Structure 1
Amino acid sequence: MLVDADHLLASLIFEPDRCSINFHPLHSYVAIGFYTFFLFIPKLRVIAIGLLFHMLTDYQDCLWH
């Protein structure tokens, strides 16, 4: 859940109609690229899977609004 700490940097911490993907720094496409790269490092693989699932669930929020 530390990946959601970047929400504190936004002017409104929570806005229901905002898409988190590519808005918050830890939800950016560059960060998602790093999370994908982490899949190839065995010690980080479980964390990478969790982060990518988190991005997937946040992306689903973007589709509904």
Structure 2
Amino acid sequence: MLQTLVHYSLHFIVPGLIARVFFPEYWVKAWLIMIATMLVDLDHLLASPIFDPNRCSINFHPLHSFWAIAGYCILFFIPKFRVIAVGLLFHMLTDFQDCLW
């Protein structure tokens, strides 16, 4: 229960705080973009079972692979895609903390 609470707080609340601090002039838009990056979880539909609480998503699902994460890091250095990259990278960090539980 605590893991689920922490996980979803990190997915929804913390991106809002990040947006407010680092993108103050358009923080609501930045927050919504970061929330939209959760579409990266569509790659979970390729797994069987779709949800396994004991599975580490990092490097298991295609959009959670080290190659994908490297791509998200590259996106960070392109100003037009920075908010998206921050959302994706924070998403990966959130999913990684699940691997540590």
- TM-score, normalized by the shorter chain, greater than 0.5: yes
CA distance in 2 between counterparts of 1:61 and 1:35 reads 20
**Alignment correspondent of 2:81:** 44
In structure 1, what is the Cα distance between the partners aligned to 2:57 and 2:76? Answer: 22
Deviation at 1:11, TM superposition (A): 1.1
Structure 1 partner of 2:60: 23
Q: Report the alpha carbon displacement of residue 17 of structure 1 after superposing the two structures with TM.
A: 0.2
The residue number in structure 1 matching 2:48 is: 11
Looking at structure 2, the residues matched to 54 and 39 of structure 1 have their Cα atoms a distance apart, in angstroms, of 14
Q: Residue type of the partner of 2:87?
A: G
Give CA-to-partner distance per residue, 1:28-58, whole Å, 9 cap, x none.
0000000000011011000000000000000
Structure 1 SS opposite 2:55: coil
> Which consecutive unaligned segments of at least 5 residues does structure 1 have?
none
Equivalent residue letter for 1:61: D
Amino acid at match of 2:71: F
Off by >3 Å, runs of 4+ in structure 1 = none
TM-score by length of 1: 0.97
Structure having the higher helix fraction is 2
Structure exhibiting the larger radius of gyration computed from Cα positions: 2
Partners of 2:52 and 2:76 in 1: CA distance? 31
Say how many residue pairs are matched.
Answer: 64
